[in-house]
Amino acid sequence: MLDSLTHGDALVAILLEGGNPEANDPLSEGERTRLQTVGLDESQLQALIVGRVVKGGRGAWALAGERIVMLGQRYRTSVDTLERSDVVRIERDPGRYGVTVRLHTRTGHWAMYAVDPARAQDWAACLQPAA
């Protein structure tokens, strides 16, 4: 119930529009500030996806060089960083409201839903090892 009250407007928009209206949005000011706390700015990003985290609201994953930065994954203002080399597997599953992206790493499993399909594809392509 509390989750519905906290994130209700965004969830209703997803249900009514059949997709996540925020999925193509740029990073918010707060997200840009949190990105800067780990020494990055938007110009350094190779790929970015924005979606929804189960029971957590909006989330964003950014790829810059060998670092993956996850914003809002554990709680609204959290910042988690992973090394690209920690990625074991990437999954993209199309759904009714966008794509669910799952990232399996040596340190755990991460997921976001209602991600824009094109951004999800670009994200996965950037994470694939070079041939």
Return the percentage of the chain with pLDDT > 70, whole number: 82
Lowest mean pLDDT, pick from 2-6, 7-11, 58-62: 2-6
CATH of 2-127, one of 2.60.120.960, 2.30.29.30, 2.40.10.10, 3.90.1300.10: 2.30.29.30
In 3D space, the residue among 77, 88, 11, 84 whose CA is nearest the CA of residue 46 turns out to be 84
Identity of residue 120 = A
CA angle 37, 32, 25 (to 5 degrees): 155
Token pair 């959290």 is at which residue? 78
**pLDDT value of residue 14:** 60
**pLDDT value of residue 5:** 44
Which residues 6+ apart lie within 8 Å of 31 measured at CB?
60, 71, 72
In 3D space, the residue among 89, 87, 72, 82 whose CA is nearest the CA of residue 34 turns out to be 72
Greatest CA separation for the chain: 48
Per-residue pLDDT at 46 exceeds 80: yes
**pLDDT value of residue 72:** 95
pLDDT tens column, 90-100: 999 998 888 99
